[in-house]
Amino acid sequence: MEKITGKEIALSGVTAALAVIAVVLSHFVGVLTLTFLAVSSVVLTLPMMIDSFRGSVLAYVAAAGLSFLFVGYIAVMPFVLMFGLYPIIDYLLWKYLKRRLFVLPIEIVFACLAFLATFYAIGLTLGDFPIVDTLPDWGKYLVIYVGVVVVFVIFHFAFTVLCDVLKRRLAPILKKK
């Protein structure tokens, strides 16, 4: 196993700090909660730009732990269960999955399962979604999950484009010795 370098540790620390700032802001600026969680997700890709998967996992664990110290359990769970894990899963799927056609469907299943885990972890109920009040229970779940899939697909493509732009601009700078 390759030894982790000081550069990887430093970049992971900076990445973790930026992710914690984004998670804390997502808690205190309620209107932009999803935006700041998405920013924390994009930030976690920085160590991957120098091919440091371990650094990204280290940054995720550190950011999750530190976020628990600054904001409550409910504010951190979407990051821990969905937005923090997504860049790691995305990286692994793109690196090891031979058929690129299956990447998006697997990620959609991940998003639905992560939403379900977050839904129960933070104690949401169907009453928290007033837009679906008039529907039967099965219809409420269907509308919510269709909404999750639509929002996730938009997030996925925005995430991919933003990461590609960041990689083109920052990878040469980050890879310098």
Report the amino acid identity of residue 124: L
Residue 162 is assigned to a structural domain of this protein = yes
**Per-residue confidence of the chain (177 residues) as pLDDT tens digits?**
678 788 888 889 999 999 999 999 998 988 888 899 999 999 999 998 888 889 999 999 999 999 999 998 888 999 999 999 999 999 999 888 877 788 889 999 999 999 989 888 888 777 777 877 788 888 888 888 899 999 999 999 999 899 889 888 887 787 776
Q: Quick one: which of 66, 117, 68, 60 has its CA closest to 90?
A: 60
Collapsing DSSP states into helix, strand and coil, what is residue 16?
Answer: helix
Distance CA 109, CA 126 (A): 21
pTM above 0.85, yes or no: yes
Cα→Cα distances 90→33, 39, 48, 119, Å:
22, 15, 11, 22
Instruction: Give me the CATH number covering residue 92.
Output: 1.10.1760
Domain of 56?
6-175
What is the maximum span of the chain, computed from C-alpha positions, in angstroms? Answer: 60
What is the distance between the alpha carbons of residues 60 and 82, in angstroms, rounded to a whole number? Answer: 11
Judge whether 1 lies within some domain.
Answer: no
Q: What is the pLDDT of residue 66?
A: 94
> What is the total count of domains within the chain?
1
Predicted local distance difference test score (pLDDT) of residue 42: 93
